[in-house]
Amino acid sequence: MIPAAFSYSRPRSLDEAFALLAEHGSEAKLVAGGHSLLPMMKLRLATPSMLIDISRISGLDAIEASGDTIKIGALTTHAAIASDVNVRKLVPALAEAASQIGDTQVRNRGTIGGACAHGDPASDYPAIALALEATLTTQSRGGTKTIAASNFFQGLFETALTADAVLTEIAFRAAPHSAYAKFPHPASHFAVVGACANLSLQGGKISQARIAITGVGDHAYRAGTVEKALVGVDPKDATAVKAACVDAGAEIEPRSDVFASGHYRAAMAEVYAARAVEAAAKR
């Protein structure tokens, strides 16, 4: 549980961070909250020879609400997101997910940028980002890129981030009828299964549904079949909601581990998708 030797640098600006990334190349790793990277280093699953600590770069931890958009700096902690009045009002599913991450220590140190950049298959935010059609902004010496969440989360610990770039901001559009339902791992609280529902309602029926699932496969995904099946459903009709959610776990190869089989994860995806839909409709 002792990491390999490494050097450490704490840039004060993005430009300094870009310079360090250019100098150290693939030997370098950015560190923000350290709550995913340091455990991996202790297990020697990651052995960077240079840690670039971006946590003191100013201007990357703001939450800015303007009109129906809310922009969250990459260094914003899970605790700050969970308690922000605008996040709770405009994107309740995001506040809900943030408040259920790990424990108090993890929520006070871990950042939304680190969680998205890490690409952990059991991470909560990717489901929210997909269902709320968030965009992720990265910056590098080459310029600024805005990437749709649907293109960002690509595989097991794999994202669209390039090695020379820093994730700087995640932007969400208001989603008042959104909710997140999670089956947490009893020890870590990572999502065994997490489902985010983002609904549009008309005349008491669902007119559009965006449903995303995390924890089940190698990366979070949109449950397209479920989204189609939910259109026209009365969300108060629990039987109809359950029937529409039946394929929630069928759209990806489910992962098995010592805690839960793939079959069980897929079955729980149906259950938690229905719970998220019911909760979102009540908002």
Ligand X SMILES: Cc1cc2nc3c(=O)[nH]c(=O)nc-3n(C[C@H](O)[C@H](O)[C@H](O)COP(=O)(O)OP(=O)(O)OC[C@H]3O[C@@H](n4cnc5c(N)ncnc54)[C@H](O)[C@@H]3O)c2cc1C
Instruction: By CB under 6 A, name the binding residues for ligand X.
Output: 29-37, 39, 54, 74, 101-102, 106, 110-111, 113-115, 117-118, 120, 123-124, 161, 166-167, 188-190
Which alpha helices (H) appear in 169-261, and where do they start and end?
A: 224-230, 238-244
Q: Which is nearer to ligand X, 115 or 252 (CB)?
A: 115
Whose tokens are 């390039």? That residue is 162
Minimum Å gap between C-beta 120 and ligand X is: 6
Minimum Å gap between C-beta 107 and ligand X is: 8
The pair of three-digit structure tokens given for residue 201, joined into one six-digit string: 């309602």
Q: Which is nearer to ligand X, 166 or 181 (CB)?
A: 166
Minimum Å gap between C-beta 57 and ligand X is: 9
Q: Which is nearer to ligand X, 32 or 266 (CB)?
A: 32
Number of H helices, E strands in the chain: 12, 14
**For the sheet containing 166-173, what is the strand order?**
63-66, 69-73, 166-173, 135-140, 143-148
Contact 110, 101 (CB under 8 A): yes
Q: Which is nearer to ligand X, 104 or 239 (CB)?
A: 104
Q: How far apart are CA 182 and CA 164, in angstroms?
A: 34
Minimum Å gap between C-beta 6 and ligand X is: 12
Q: Which is nearer to ligand X, 164 or 234 (CB)?
A: 164
Q: Which is nearer to ligand X, 60 or 252 (CB)?
A: 60
H or E stretch at 279: helix 262-282
Minimum Å gap between C-beta 40 and ligand X is: 8
Q: Which is nearer to ligand X, 122 or 230 (CB)?
A: 122
Whose tokens are 């929210």? That residue is 128
Closest by Cα among 125, 60, 65 to 89:
65
Minimum Å gap between C-beta 33 and ligand X is: 3
Closest by Cα among 51, 90, 53, 54 to 72:
90
Q: How far apart are CA 193 and CA 271, in angstroms?
A: 10
The pair of three-digit structure tokens given for residue 38, joined into one six-digit string: 């340091």
Minimum Å gap between C-beta 25 and ligand X is: 14
Closest by Cα among 186, 193, 203, 206 to 255:
193
